[in-house]
Amino acid sequence: MLPAYRGGMDVERSFVVDRPVEEVFDFIADFENTQVWDPGTVWTRRTSGDGGLGTTYRNRSSFMGRTVELDYETIAHDRPTHFVCRGVNGRTTATDHLTFTRDGDRTLVHYRAVFDFPRSWGWLAGIVLRRPVEKLADETVAQIQAAFSS
């Protein structure tokens, strides 16, 4: 039996935000705020739901000169500790996993983005996109922290 195909990559970051955990969770878990904290997002609109589990969003992002649209769904929403949103567009799946840990009046955020690509080019995408995705992850951390510094 062949092993399961996994054509993609992961990127992870841990960082501190100088705000209470509930405030940080609520801001990030409202996925329409990606326009503020995700440097690649052009816009995000809620398409159904109340912001909790099962809420769906339509997202347009720009990356490496290309514009893509994904339909996201909140697949985990455990306030204020855990949030997961998965986006698909027929070719690619992007899943954002975020955990939030209280550290006094600050919040430790662990962010993991998982990208799954089609079998036809998934192995190559992981090689070609690694550096740009790592750079985007660093920019995302900086933008989240900046969103809370004002």
Q: What is the pLDDT of residues 99-125, one digit of tens each?
A: 999 999 999 999 999 988 776 665 666
Structure tokens at 2: 């062949």
Classify residue 138: in a domain, yes or no: yes
Classify residue 66: in a domain, yes or no: yes
* Average pLDDT of span 8-31: 95
**Is residue 35 within a helix (H) or strand (E), and if so which, with residue range?**
helix 34-37
Task: Give all strands (DSSP E) within 64-136, no chain letters.
Answer: 66-78, 82-88, 93-103, 106-116
Residue 50 sits in a domain whose CATH number is 3.30.530.20
Q: What is the pLDDT of residues 22-64, one digit of tens each?
A: 999 999 999 999 999 999 999 999 999 999 999 999 999 998 8
The candidate with the shortest Cα–Cα distance to 21, out of 76, 78, 84, 80, is 80
> What is the C-alpha to C-alpha distance for residues 103 and 96, in angstroms, rounded to an integer?
22
> What is the C-alpha to C-alpha distance for residues 34 and 78, in angstroms, rounded to an integer?
19
Classify residue 1: in a domain, yes or no: no
Classify residue 62: in a domain, yes or no: yes
Classify residue 121: in a domain, yes or no: yes
> What is the C-alpha to C-alpha distance for residues 64 and 138, in angstroms, rounded to an integer?
15
**Is residue 29 within a helix (H) or strand (E), and if so which, with residue range?**
helix 21-29
Classify residue 3: in a domain, yes or no: no
The range of the structural domain enclosing residue 43 comes to 8-147
Classify residue 86: in a domain, yes or no: yes
Residue 79, pLDDT above cutoff 90: yes
User: Considering its fold, how many domains does the chain have in total?
Assistant: 1
Write phi, then psi, for 112 (nearest 5 degrees): -135, 120
Please report, in angstroms and rounded to a whole number, the separation of the first and last CA atoms in the chain.
55
Given pLDDT bands bounded at 50, 70 and 90, which one contains residue 3? very low
Integer-rounded Cα radius of gyration of the chain = 15
What pTM was computed for the model?
Answer: 0.88
Classify residue 79: in a domain, yes or no: yes
